[in-house]
Copies of this chain bind each other. A is one copy, B any other.
Amino acid sequence: MAGHVYGGIEAGGTKFVCVVGSGPAEILDRKRVDTTDPAATLAVCVEFFARHTIRSLGIASFGPLELRPSHPDYGHITTTPKPGWSGTDLVGPFAERLRIPVAIDTDVNGAALAEVRWGAAKGLRNAVYVTVGTGVGGGAVVDGTPVTGMVHPEMGHVSISRRSGDDFGGVCPFHGDCFEGMASGPAIEARWGQPAELVHETERMVEIEAATIAAGLRQIVYVLAPERIVLGGGVSKLPGLHDRVNDELVHQMSDYAILAGHRSVFVVPPGLGDDAGVAGALALAMAAA
């Protein structure tokens, strides 16, 4: 689709980033819109895209989202703690005004699609994107299609094996010590009594964090058998984290011998950096065009 121009929205809880372009390296216009109430936020975004000629629009959004195509609430946010946003139709306002195909998926499914298209998982048939930051989330692409079903995956809420002797209770309001409850930024802060960047015992902190993340990734590997896991998010920037997670994963999955041959290229940093969100939105748009 060389020459075509697409629209993308990275829809988050604090900002909506709207872009027009044909890929992460070809962004022609960009607008940041603060996330206020739904009607006002979406209206500003609609007007931005109405000024451009785009072939299709992709929305990579926070959730939870209704993504079953046959469901009457397809493209709506379902129930979110974010005030005013539960039940918001994210697709309708754009489809009605712009009269183009509008695709929507989770931010992490969008990021996975973008990493397969342009980034660190380029060309792979089966790849996963996991973000570890304020929360933990994961998206997957299998044979070019982001994985959704009854709802979308919530990979951050798998349970994980507890490290021997560890009695930290975790911070997930639903499960306590699930993947997110044990590995997220807030989990690090709760465990150490201060944010990661202030912890003096960096080596020990990274060691524990890598083991915890590997315990979560193990579940994903056994269920989905991805060819590669792109690990992003703020926590993933801890020094040496990816190498340690790779080593821990090989250690924890000793029977899964094939991993040993791919150590250091199995869990990798994102190829698209901070533009993964808008790149994901553009990738969704291109897939829907």
Contacts and interface: CB of A to CB of B under 8 A. Distances in A.
Chain A contact-residue range equals 35 or more
A143 B224 CA distance: 14
A152 interface: yes
A160 B159 contact: yes
Given A161-B159, A215-B159, A151 B223 contact: no
A254 B174 CA distance: 7
A145 interface: yes
B159 A225 contact: no
B157 A222 contact: yes
A167 to B, nearest CB: 15
Given A160-B159, A257-B79, A227 B174 contact: no
Interface string A246-261: 0000000111111100
A155 interface: yes
B255 A223 contact: no
A201 B219 CA distance: 32
A167 B188 CA distance: 29
A179 to B, nearest CB: 9
Contacts of A138: 223
A258 B107 CA distance: 20
A178 to B, nearest CB: 9
A262 interface: yes
A142 B147 contact: yes
Interface in A102-155: 125-127, 138, 140, 142-143, 145, 147-155
Contacts of A266: 150
Interface of A: 68, 79, 125-127, 138, 140, 142-143, 145, 147-161, 174-175, 215, 218-228, 253-259, 262, 266
